[in-house]
C-alpha cells in the first residue's frame, strides 16, 4: 500500500511538471507519425512515395503509435498517451519491484526523477525515450531479482531478456544495454561456468534474436543493413566530440538532482545483492554517455539522447540515499532531508526559465503543422513534390510527396559526405544540392516553417548556388488564414517558398498558349545566386539586389491566398504593378486575359529586355530573336479598382 500511495503521489507530481512543458512536441516526432499514418493508410512503412527509406530510429514506437491511430486515436493524443503511460509505468516498476532499497529516502529518488524537466519533456515530446526508459527499468529489475534469487532465477532473467529485446526494437542503439546486462548475468551468475553461461543466454539471446529479425526486415524491406538515420546523423570527428562534450555538460547540470546522489550510490557496490543492478547502471550509463559524446548528441532540447539513462541514475541515486541513511535515526533524517531537497530542487528548476539553450523548449513546431496543413489543402489536386529542411510536422500535416533535404528520410543525401569545413550540427551537416535539383521539387522550403528566402544548411546553399535553380525557381508568398499556433498564439502566417516555374504549381502550357496562376504575380525572381554571385556582380550591386528582394518579401502588396480547397488565388491588397519575370515564350501574337475579369485591372506582356507592341484589341506581338525569348507578364491594379482584387489566373493565348 505505501508503494501504491507513493506511485500516486509521484504521478501527481509528474503531472504538474507535464503541465509546465505542454503543449510542446518535437518536430521529429511527426516523422514517426508520418510513417505510422502511411502504414495505417496502406502505403507501407514509408515516409513518402518512391524509394523505401528507414528514416525513423524507433520501430516499436512507430508501430505502437500506428496501432493507436488505427483504433481511431488522434495522432498527437496517441503520442501523449504512449509517452505518459510509459513514464508512469517506469515509476511503477521502480517502486513495486525490489530493485530499489526499501528505505523512504531511497524511494524518494523516484520522486526526483518525476520532478525533472527532462522526464516531463520527453513524456510529452513525442519520441521514444519514455518507452526505452520503461524497458530499461524492467530489464534492471529482472537482472537484480534473477541474480539474487535462491533458485535459478530463470523467469526474472527471461523477463529482463524480453525487455532488452523490446529496447532493441525501440532504438537501434538499444543493444548496448544488452552488453552490460548480459555481462552482469555472466559475472554475477554463480561460481559454476555452465550456470553463468546459461544465465547470460537467458538475458542476451532474446535481444540478439530481436536484432537479427529487425536486420533481416531492414535488408528485405529497405535494402539496407543500417537505418538511414544512422547514415545521416552518426559521426565521430573532433567537431562531433566537441559538440558531444557540450551536450553532456548541459545534461549533467540539468540532471544534477540525481547525479550527485548517484555518485554516492556507488558505495553500495560493497553490498553483494546490489552489485548486478549497480554495475549495469554504472557501466551502461558510462558507455551510453561516451557514445553520445562521440556522435555529438543531437539538436533536440532537454538532453533527449541521455534521457533513458535517468532510469539507472535513479537506481544509483536510490542506493546513494540509502547509504546515507545507514547508521541510526539521525542519518535517516539527514538522508530523507537530502532526498526531499533533491525533489524540491528538480521541481523548482522545472518552474524557472532555462538559460541553457540546450535545455530550452522550442515553439515553432505548430507553425510547421499549420504550414503543412495549408499546403496540403491548397495543393491537394496538384500533389506537388515539396522539398523541406524540417521533415516533421510540415510533411506530416500536408500529406504531400516530400523530399528531406537534410537526408534523414533520403538515402542519397544521407550517403553524401558532409562538405569540407562544414559547421557540425548533429543531423544537419549533409546535403546534396545537385541531387535535389535533379529531383525537380515543385516547392522548396528552406529552414524552419513557414520558410525563408535564403538557405542555412549545406544542401540548401548548394541548391541556391546552382544557376539552374536561379533560372527555374521563384519565391512565392502565400498567406494563411488565422489559426491556433500553439502556446496561446493565434494569427496568420506568410509562407515563403521557392517554386519551380514549370512545375505542377507553375506556368501550365498547352497548344494555345499558357496559364499563369494569379499568385505567381507576387513572385520574386532572384537574378543571380546571393551565396555565389557571378564575378561581374559588384558588392554594391549584390547588396542592392538583396535589399530589393527583402523589400518584396516583407511588403508585397499581392499574396497567394486560399479561397477553397485546391484553389489558390493572387490577392492584391493595394494598387500597383505586379510582375512574373522572365517566362520562356515563343515569338508570336498573344492576347492576355485575367480570370475573373475585374474592373481597374490591366495586363501587359513584354520581353524581359526590349519591348513589345500592343494593338487596340490588346494583342501583344513578340518578334523572333536570335536568343530564346523571355517575357515579363505584368498586372497593374489601378487606383479605381475595388480592393482586394483576386486573380485566379492570367491566360496568355496565341492569336492566329
Helix axis angle for 75-96 and 2-21, nearest 10°, is: 150
* Residue 1 confidence class, pLDDT cut points 50, 70, 90: very low
Place of cell 500553439: 486
Model confidence at 615: pLDDT above 70: no
424-434 mean pLDDT: 92
What per-residue confidence (pLDDT) applies to 613? 55
What per-residue confidence (pLDDT) applies to 32? 97
94-119 mean pLDDT: 93
Model confidence at 445: pLDDT above 80: yes
Rg (CA), the chain: 30
Contact 29, 126 (CB under 8 A): yes
Q: Which of 427, 563, 377 is nearest to 28 (CA)?
A: 427
* Residue 70 confidence class, pLDDT cut points 50, 70, 90: very high
Least confident range from 454-458, 521-525, 527-531, 628-632: namely 628-632
In angstroms, the Cα distances linking 151 to 34, 57, 154, 196, 199 are 47, 38, 8, 13, 12
What per-residue confidence (pLDDT) applies to 592? 92
* Residue 612 confidence class, pLDDT cut points 50, 70, 90: low
> What is the per-residue pLDDT across 471-491, written as a single tens digit (0 to 9) for each?
999 999 998 988 888 888 888
* Residue 242 confidence class, pLDDT cut points 50, 70, 90: very high
What per-residue confidence (pLDDT) applies to 125? 94
What per-residue confidence (pLDDT) applies to 561? 86
What per-residue confidence (pLDDT) applies to 409? 96
Contact 444, 473 (CB under 8 A): yes
Domain extents for the chain?
A: 2-359, 363-502, 507-656
3-state secondary structure of 256: helix
Q: What mean pLDDT, rounded, does the chain reach?
A: 91
Please name the residue ranges forming H helices in 308-364: 310-325, 329-351
Give percent of the chain with pLDDT exceeding 90.
68
Give percent of the chain with pLDDT exceeding 70.
97
5-29 mean pLDDT: 87
Task: Give me 419's grid cell.
Answer: 562538405
Contact 636, 591 (CB under 8 A): no
What per-residue confidence (pLDDT) applies to 529? 93
What per-residue confidence (pLDDT) applies to 5? 82
- Pairwise pLDDT comparison (373 vs 2), residue with the higher score: 373
* Residue 629 confidence class, pLDDT cut points 50, 70, 90: confident
Q: How far apart are CA 230 and CA 649, in angstroms?
A: 46
Tally of CA atoms within 13 A in the half-sphere of 361 that contains its CB: 24
* DSSP assigned state of 629: P
Contact 288, 303 (CB under 8 A): no
Q: Which helix (DSSP H) or strand (DSSP E) does residue 428 occupy?
A: none
Model confidence at 373: pLDDT above 90: yes
Q: How far apart are CA 258 and CA 62, in angstroms?
A: 30
Residues 6 or more apart whose Cβ sits within 8 Å of residue 515:
507, 508, 649, 650, 651, 652
Model confidence at 193: pLDDT above 90: no
What per-residue confidence (pLDDT) applies to 609? 67
267 CB-contact burial (10 Å; exposed 0-12 / middle 13-18 / buried 19+): middle
> What is the per-residue pLDDT across 260-310, written as a single tens digit (0 to 9) for each?
999 999 999 989 999 999 999 999 999 999 999 999 999 999 999 999 999
What is the pTM for the complete model shown? 0.94
The answer to whether the bond into 567 is cis (omega within 30° of 0) is no
What per-residue confidence (pLDDT) applies to 626? 61
Query: Following DSSP, what letter does each residue of 521-585 receive, concatenated?
Result: GG-B--SS-SSS--TTS-HHHHHHHHHHHHHHHHH-SEEEEEEETTEEEEEE-SSEEEEEEEEE-
> What is the per-residue pLDDT across 345-360, written as a single tens digit (0 to 9) for each?
888 887 777 888 899 9
CATH topology of domain 507-656: Jelly Rolls (2.60.120)
Amino acid at each position: 500500500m505505501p508503494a501504491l500511495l507513493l506511485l500516486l503521489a509521484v504521478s501527481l507530481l509528474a503531472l504538474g511538471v507535464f503541465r509546465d512543458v505542454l503543449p510542446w512536441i518535437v518536430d521529429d516526432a511527426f516523422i514517426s507519425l508520418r510513417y505510422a499514418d502511411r502504414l495505417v493508410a496502406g502505403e507501407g512503412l514509408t515516409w513518402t512515395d518512391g524509394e523505401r527509406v528507414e528514416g525513423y530510429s524507433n520501430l516499436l514506437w512507430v508501430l505502437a503509435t500506428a496501432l493507436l491511430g488505427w483504433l481511431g486515436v488522434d495522432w498527437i493524443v496517441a503520442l501523449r498517451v504512449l509517452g505518459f503511460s510509459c513514464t508512469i509505468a517506469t515509476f511503477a516498476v521502480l517502486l513495486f519491484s525490489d530493485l530499489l532499497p526499501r528505505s523512504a529516502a531511497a524511494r524518494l529518488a523516484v520522486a526526483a526523477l518525476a520532478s525533472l524537466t527532462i522526464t516531463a519533456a520527453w513524456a510529452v515530446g513525442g519520441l521514444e525515450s519514455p518507452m526505452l526508459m520503461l524497458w530499461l527499468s524492467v530489464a534492471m529489475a529482472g537482472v537484480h531479482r534473477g541474480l539474487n534469487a535462491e533458485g535459478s532465477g530463470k523467469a526474472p532473467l527471461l523477463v529482463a531478456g524480453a525487455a532488452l529485446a523490446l529496447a532493441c526494437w525501440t532504438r537501434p542503439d538499444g543493444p548496448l544495454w544488452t552488453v552490460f546486462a548480459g555481462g552482469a548475468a555472466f559475472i554475477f551468475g554463480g561460481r559454476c561456468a555452465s550456470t553463468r553461461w546459461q544465465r547470460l543466454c537467458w538475458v542476451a539471446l532474446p535481444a540478439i534474436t530481436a536484432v537479427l529479425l529487425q536486420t533481416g526486415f531492414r535488408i528485405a524491406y529497405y535494402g539496407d543493413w543500417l537505418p538511414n538515420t544512422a547514415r545521416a546523423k552518426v559521426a565521430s570527428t573532433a567537431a562531433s566530440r566537441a559538440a558531444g562534450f557540450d551536450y553532456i555538460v548541459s545534461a549533467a547540470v540539468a540532471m544534477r538532482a540525481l547525479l550527485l546522489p548517484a555518485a554516492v550510490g556507488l558505495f553500495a557496490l560493497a553490498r553483494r545483492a546490489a552489485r548486478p543492478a549497480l554495475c549495469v547502471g554504472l557501466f551502461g550509463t558510462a558507455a551510453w554517455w561516451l557514445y553520445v559524446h562521440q556522435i555529438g548528441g543531437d539538436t533536440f532540447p532537454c538532453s533527449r539522447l541521455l534521457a533513458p539513462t535517468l532510469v539507472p541514475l535513479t537506481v544509483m541515486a536510490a542506493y546513494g540515499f540509502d547509504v546515507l541513511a545507514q547508521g541510526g535515526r539521525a542519518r535517516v533524517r539527514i538522508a530523507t532531508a537530502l532526498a526531499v531537497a533533491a525533489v524540491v530542487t528538480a521541481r523548482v528548476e522545472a518552474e524557472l526559465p532555462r538559460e541553457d539553450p540546450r535545455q530550452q523548449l522550442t515553439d515553432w513546431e505548430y507553425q510547421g503543422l499549420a504550414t503543412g496543413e495549408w499546403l496540403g489543402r491548397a495543393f491537394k489536386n496538384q500533389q506537388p513534390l515539396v522539398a523541406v529542411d524540417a521533415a516533421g510536422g510540415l510533411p506530416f500535416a500536408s500529406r504531400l510527396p516530400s523530399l528531406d533535404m537534410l537526408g534523414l528520410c533520403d538515402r542519397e543525401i544521407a550517403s553524401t559526405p558532409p562538405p569540407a569545413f562544414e559547421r557540425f550540427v548533429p543531423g544537419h551537416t549533409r546535403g546534396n544540392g545537385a541531387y535535389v535539383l535533379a529531383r525537380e521539387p515543385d516547392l522548396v522550403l528552406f529552414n524552419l516553417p513557414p520558410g525563408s528566402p535564403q538557405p542555412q544548411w549545406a544542401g540548401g546553399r548548394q541548391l541556391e548556388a546552382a544557376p539552374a535553380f536561379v533560372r527555374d525557381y521563384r519565391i512565392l508568398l502565400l498567406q494563411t488564414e488565422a489559426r491556433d499556433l500553439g502556446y496561446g498564439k493565434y494569427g496568420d502566417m506568410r509562407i515563403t517558398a521557392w517554386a519551380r516555374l514549370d512545375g505542377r504549381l507553375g506556368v501550365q502550357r498547352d497548344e494555345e498558349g499558357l496559364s499563369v496562376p494569379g499568385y505567381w504575380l507576387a513572385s520574386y525572381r532572384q537574378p543571380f545566386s546571393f551565396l555565389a554571385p557571378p564575378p561581374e556582380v559588384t558588392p554594391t550591386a549584390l547588396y542592392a539586389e538583396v535589399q530589393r528582394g527583402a523589400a518584396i518579401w516583407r511588403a508585397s502588396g499581392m499574396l497567394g491566398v486560399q479561397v477553397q480547397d485546391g484553389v489558390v488565388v493572387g490577392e492584391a491588397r493595394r494598387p500597383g504593378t505586379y510582375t512574373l519575370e522572365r517566362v520562356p515564350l515563343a515569338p508570336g501574337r498573344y492576347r492576355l486575359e485575367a480570370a475573373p475579369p475585374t474592373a481597374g485591372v490591366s495586363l501587359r506582356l513584354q520581353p524581359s529586355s526590349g519591348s513589345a507592341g500592343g494593338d487596340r484589341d490588346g494583342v501583344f506581338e513578340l518578334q523572333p530573336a536570335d536568343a530564346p525569348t523571355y517575357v515579363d507578364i505584368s498586372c497593374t491594379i489601378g487606383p479605381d479598382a475595388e480592393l482586394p482584387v483576386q486573380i485566379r489566373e492570367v491566360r496568355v493565348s496565341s492569336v492566329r
